[in-house]
Chain A
Amino acid sequence: MQYLPQLIASGISIGMIYAVVAFGYQLTFATSKTLNFGQGEALALGGLTGWSVTTWLIAHGIGVGVAYLLMIPIVLIFGMLQGAVVERLGVRQAIKTKSEAGWIMATIALGIIFKNLAENIWGRDALKFPSPLPEAALTFGSVRIQPMEIAIVIGALAMMLAVELFNRRSIFGKAVVATANDRDAAGLMGINTGLVIAFSYALSSMAAAFAGVLVAPITTAGVSSAAVLGLKAFAVAIIGGLSSGLGVIVGGLILGITETMTGYFISTGYKDVPGLVLLLLVLSFKPSGLFGKATIKKV
């Protein structure tokens, strides 16, 4: 059991990545009751775009740390645009016609299209992402942590906190929450709820793209692992509850830590199993998620 703290520490950073992507799922679900099933691809595109921007900046003589920081706003904007495209092409019409399932197929289809696009631009192989922080691990007692892993946790929390603050403090954020509460009533307040939904898709993909550039320096950038990551983050959103901000963080940590534990104590071949078993248990016993509030669908 001496490796337990190490396994937990390693699980936390990957868990926070899941949490950020799961947070993205929540953003669109709150305003429109729809989800972007291409979140994994949005993460991959963010990572790859970040890779291109960072390597270009480095090639032009900019230091890797500065290049990474300069790249982040560009990737955030790129993520927002990509999310807006998904909303416009895949979701808007489905919401307008109150289609129950149209958006599911449409967002999956757009995810596949984005994946193919990425494979043709950047190739199928994972790309080594230049790390903005030293790769040598820091030692805390028996626990070794890469500086980038700490950056992931800080970056992930900062992003979620920024969105929460925006929602609570600004009148536009309050309009987003109002739309999530009651779309028709929000419309009566003069809030353009269609625009709010488009914005939530933009924010959602922005979160995924940000997760992509956070995780890439410790893994790699590429499309191959993205779909799985998107799916796991979806499991996190379900485990934590699609309406709870705290839920995705706890859900992400649970999944991240159980994965590293299983990988170590059982086999890396089974590392995805506990999270998925947990997903099935949650769906059986508390379908609204560990932190979600039960909602009754009115007919």
Chain B
Amino acid sequence: MLKIENLFAGYGKVQVLHGVSMEVPTGMLVTLIGSNGAGKTTTLRALSGMIKPESGSITLGGVEIGGLPSHAIARKGLAHSPEARRIFPTQSVFDNLLLGAFPRLTGARPKGDVQGDISKMFEIFPRLAERRAQLAGTLSGGEQQMLAMARALMLQPEVLLLDEPSMGLSPKLVEEVFVVIARLKSEKVTMLLVEQFAAAALEVADFGYVMENGRLTASGTAASLKVDPAVRAAYLGSAH
């Protein structure tokens, strides 16, 4: 569904990604793990058009999307739940969800049942239902993370990009987030999950890539990466 070939990207003169190639097949949950500063977030930002790739190809369902502005990419069906959540603080939880469906409400994507999907989000994330009329800026960190994921899902995306959904959350909330990710996987939502919390990510994913200094250094099924000695030593904290 999502295919990246030889992607180079960065910020101004600082090049971060040095030729990244990876693939997210339809219905699969692919995870991208690596240490802080490896270029995982930059990869997602280049995919969703938040930064312009310098070169390389990104195709979504066979259509080239590399270098398009982010709003055009979203309208083609790529949803991005960004790092640090980036919810709209002065709008209600409900309105944040509506905005997630903006392309559907304005004719850029098939409309479907927007109200029904909001109800579904409230079923998946019951805390959001309780707070539907509350301003999003008043939510706790965990609730904001739930909202960011729900908002991205409201696009009814072809592919969902999740950037560090566990960041800054308590262990209990991290567990909740991963339960939701597992549920979305069982519903065949195509996802690319970026995580520093590699053990949990590999537990839930079908396939994984490991990134170091802007290059992919390993890839394979999540099960094989979990037992790979190098991956274990570097990211799973169990060298012995």
Chain A positions near chain B (C-beta within 8 angstroms): 171-172, 174-175, 177-178, 180-182, 184-194
B142 contacts partner chain A, Cβ-Cβ < 8 Å: no
CB neighbours of A175 from chain B (8 A)? 99, 102
CB neighbours of B90 from chain A (8 A)? 177, 180-181
Chain B interface size range: 20 to 34
A190–B75 alpha-carbon span in the complex (Å): 6
**Interface set, chain B 97-133, CB cutoff 8 A to A:** 98-100, 102-103, 105-106, 108-109
B66-74, B168-176, B199-207, B226-234 - the one binding chain A: B66-74
Known: A174-B99, A178-B91. A190 touches B86 (CB 8 A): no
- Which residue of chain B has the shortest Cβ distance to A195 in the bound complex? B71
B95 contacts partner chain A, Cβ-Cβ < 8 Å: yes
B65 CB to closest chain A CB (Å) equals 13
Contact assessment for A181 and B89 in the assembled complex, using a CB-CB cutoff below 8 Å: yes
Given contacts A182-B86, A190-B106, 9 further A-B contacts (CB under 8 A): A171-B102, A174-B99, A177-B90, A185-B88, A187-B50, A189-B155, A190-B102, A193-B71, A194-B69
**Interface set, chain B 25-80, CB cutoff 8 A to A:** 48-50, 69-71, 74-75, 79-80
Contact of B108 among A174, A184, A190, A194 (CB under 8 A): A190
Contact assessment for A188 and B74 in the assembled complex, using a CB-CB cutoff below 8 Å: yes
Contact assessment for B105 and A178 in the assembled complex, using a CB-CB cutoff below 8 Å: no
Known: A174-B95, A178-B91. A189 touches B102 (CB 8 A): yes
Contact of B88 among A181, A190, A192 (CB under 8 A): A181
Contact assessment for B155 and A190 in the assembled complex, using a CB-CB cutoff below 8 Å: yes
CB neighbours of A181 from chain B (8 A)? 88-91
B115 CB to closest chain A CB (Å) equals 13
B214 contacts partner chain A, Cβ-Cβ < 8 Å: no
A227 CB to closest chain B CB (Å) equals 33
A23–B89 alpha-carbon span in the complex (Å): 21
CB neighbours of A193 from chain B (8 A)? 71
CB neighbours of A192 from chain B (8 A)? 69, 71
Between-chain CB contacts (< 8 Å), 11 pairs? A171-B99, A171-B105, A174-B91, A177-B91, A184-B50, A185-B87, A189-B100, A189-B155, A190-B71, A190-B109, A190-B155
Contact with A along B160-202 (1 / 0, CB 8 A): 0000000000000000000000000000000000000000000
Contact assessment for A188 and B108 in the assembled complex, using a CB-CB cutoff below 8 Å: no
CB neighbours of A180 from chain B (8 A)? 90
Contact assessment for A184 and B70 in the assembled complex, using a CB-CB cutoff below 8 Å: yes
- Which residue of chain A has the shortest Cβ distance to B86 in the bound complex? A185
CB neighbours of A174 from chain B (8 A)? 91, 95, 98-99
A3–B53 alpha-carbon span in the complex (Å): 67
Contact of B71 among A171, A182, A191 (CB under 8 A): A191
